[in-house]
Amino acid sequence: MGTRPESRVQEGDREYRGRGQGSGLAALAFEHFRGGLQRYLVRRLRNGEDAQDLAQEVYLRLLRFGDEELVRRPESYVYRVAFNVLCEFKLSTGRDPVAFDSETVARLAEEFPAEELSPEDAWSQGSRQQRLDAVLARLPAMQRAVFLLAVRHDVPHEKIAHELGVSLHTVRKYLYRSLHYCRQNLGHE
Amino acid sequence: MKSRVSDAERRIVGEDAAKWLFELCETGPADRAAFVAWLKESPRHVEEFLFATATISEVRDGAKRDSPDAGAADDEVRRLIAQALAKRTDDTVVPLADAHTSGGSPAAQQSRAPAHWGRTRWTLGIAASVVALALGVLAVPALLSLYDDRYATAVGEQRSVKLADGSVVYLNARSRIEVDYSEAARDVRLIEGEAIFKVEHDPTRAFRVRTEDALIQALGTQFNVYRKPEGTTVAVLEGTVRVSSSEPAITLDSIAATELTAAERPSPAQVNLTAGEQTRIGAGGIIEQPARADLSQVVAWRERRLVFSADRLASIADEFSRYSPRRIRLEDEIARNKRITGTFDADDPESLVLFLEKLDELTVVREGEDFLVSARK
> Closest chain A residue to B158 measured between Cα atoms?
A60
B375 pairs with which residues across the strands? B362
B363 pairs with which residues across the strands? B374
pLDDT above 90 covers a percentage of chain B that reads 14
CA distance A55 to A59: 6
* Cβ atoms B330, B314 nearer than 8 A: yes
CA distance A39 to A115: 11
Instruction: Read off the pLDDT of each residue in B127-145 and give the average, rounded to a whole number.
Output: 37
Report the Cα A98 to chain-centroid distance in Å: 26
* Cβ atoms B278, B235 nearer than 8 A: yes
* Cβ atoms B240, B221 nearer than 8 A: yes
Q: Give the tens place of pLDDT for each residue, A92-116.
A: 554 333 333 334 434 444 444 444 4
| Alpha helix ranges (H) inside B24-42 | 29-41
Closest approach of chain B CAs to the CA of A33, in angstroms? 7
What is the per-residue pLDDT for B105? 39
Closest approach of chain A CAs to the CA of B248, in angstroms? 34
Using pLDDT thresholds of 50, 70 and 90, give the confidence band for residue B305. confident
What is the per-residue pLDDT for A99? 33
Give yes or no for residue B252 having a pLDDT over 90: no
Closest approach of chain B CAs to the CA of A110, in angstroms? 7
Give yes or no for residue B119 having a pLDDT over 60: no
- Partners of A59 on chain B (C-beta within 8 Å) are 39-40, 42-43, 46
Are the Cβ atoms of A13 and B62 closer than 8 angstroms?
Answer: no
Report the Cα A11 to chain-centroid distance in Å: 22
Using pLDDT thresholds of 50, 70 and 90, give the confidence band for residue B216. very high
What is the per-residue pLDDT for A29? 47
Helix B70-87 and helix A157-164: axis angle, to 10°? 50
CA distance B94 to B103: 14
Are the Cβ atoms of B131 and A19 closer than 8 angstroms?
Answer: yes
Which of B152, B295, B52, B123 is closest to A19 using CA atoms? B123
Are the Cβ atoms of A62 and B39 closer than 8 angstroms?
Answer: yes
* Cβ atoms B335, B291 nearer than 8 A: no
Instruction: Read off the pLDDT of each residue in B206-227 and give the average, rounded to a whole number.
Output: 88
Instruction: Read off the pLDDT of each residue in B50-75 and give the average, rounded to a whole number.
Output: 74
Helix A102-111 and helix B106-138: axis angle, to 10°? 160
Where is average pLDDT lowest: A66-70, A161-165, B19-23, B107-111? B107-111
Length of chain B, please? 377
Give yes or no for residue B330 having a pLDDT over 90: yes
B279 pairs with which residues across the strands? B234
- Partners of B55 on chain A (C-beta within 8 Å) are 179, 182-183, 186
Mean pLDDT for chain B?
A: 74
- Partners of B87 on chain A (C-beta within 8 Å) are 140-142
Are the Cβ atoms of A31 and B55 closer than 8 angstroms?
Answer: no
What is the per-residue pLDDT for B374? 93
Q: For residue A34, what are the CA distances in angstroms to A62, A134, B27, B53, B366?
A: 22, 22, 24, 11, 47
Using pLDDT thresholds of 50, 70 and 90, give the confidence band for residue B52. confident
Of A152, A166, A176, Cβ closest to residue B15: A176
State the best of B6, B57, B323 to mutate against chain A, taking most chain A CBs within 10 Å: B57
Are the Cβ atoms of A92 and B146 closer than 8 angstroms?
Answer: yes
Give yes or no for residue B329 having a pLDDT over 90: yes
State the best of B39, B153, B196, B301 to mutate against chain A, taking most chain A CBs within 10 Å: B39
What is the per-residue pLDDT for B120? 39
* Cβ atoms A113, A64 nearer than 8 A: no
Of the segments B50-54, B75-79, B80-84, B279-283, which one has the largest average pLDDT value? B279-283
Please provide residue B86's backbone torsions phi and psi, each rounded to the nearest 5 degrees.
Answer: -60, -35
Closest approach of chain B CAs to the CA of A101, in angstroms? 8
pLDDT above 90 covers a percentage of chain A that reads 4
Are the Cβ atoms of A34 and B133 closer than 8 angstroms?
Answer: no
Are the Cβ atoms of A154 and B117 closer than 8 angstroms?
Answer: yes
Helix A141-151 and helix A168-186: axis angle, to 10°? 90
Residues 6+ apart with CB under 8 A from B359: B338
Overall pTM surpassing 0.80 (yes/no): no
pLDDT above 70 covers a percentage of chain A that reads 50
Give yes or no for residue B23 having a pLDDT over 60: yes
pLDDT above 70 covers a percentage of chain B that reads 73
State the best of B83, B89, B137, B168 to mutate against chain A, taking most chain A CBs within 10 Å: B137
Are the Cβ atoms of A142 and B59 closer than 8 angstroms?
Answer: no
* Cβ atoms B363, B376 nearer than 8 A: yes
Of the segments A160-169, B134-143, B267-276, which one has the largest average pLDDT value? A160-169
Are the Cβ atoms of A165 and B162 closer than 8 angstroms?
Answer: no
* Cβ atoms B60, A179 nearer than 8 A: no
Give yes or no for residue A178 having a pLDDT over 80: yes
Give yes or no for residue A189 having a pLDDT over 50: no
Are the Cβ atoms of A64 and B23 closer than 8 angstroms?
Answer: no
What is the per-residue pLDDT for B314? 92
Closest approach of chain B CAs to the CA of A1, in angstroms? 18
Instruction: Read off the pLDDT of each residue in B310-335 and give the average, rounded to a whole number.
Output: 89
Give yes or no for residue B181 having a pLDDT over 90: no
What is the per-residue pLDDT for A92? 57
Instruction: Read off the pLDDT of each residue in B243-267 and give the average, rounded to a whole number.
Output: 49
Of B14, B132, B347, Cβ closest to residue A113: B132
Closest approach of chain B CAs to the CA of A6, in angstroms? 9
A49 vs A147, higher pLDDT:
A147
Where is average pLDDT lowest: A5-19, A32-46, A141-155, B136-150? A5-19
What is the per-residue pLDDT for B322? 84
- Partners of B146 on chain A (C-beta within 8 Å) are 88, 91-92
* Cβ atoms B50, A82 nearer than 8 A: yes
Q: Give the tens place of pLDDT for each residue, B85-117.
A: 876 544 433 333 333 333 333 333 333 333 333
Grouping H, G, I as helix, E, B as strand and the rest as coil, residue B273 is: strand
CA distance B290 to B234: 10
* Cβ atoms B329, B362 nearer than 8 A: no
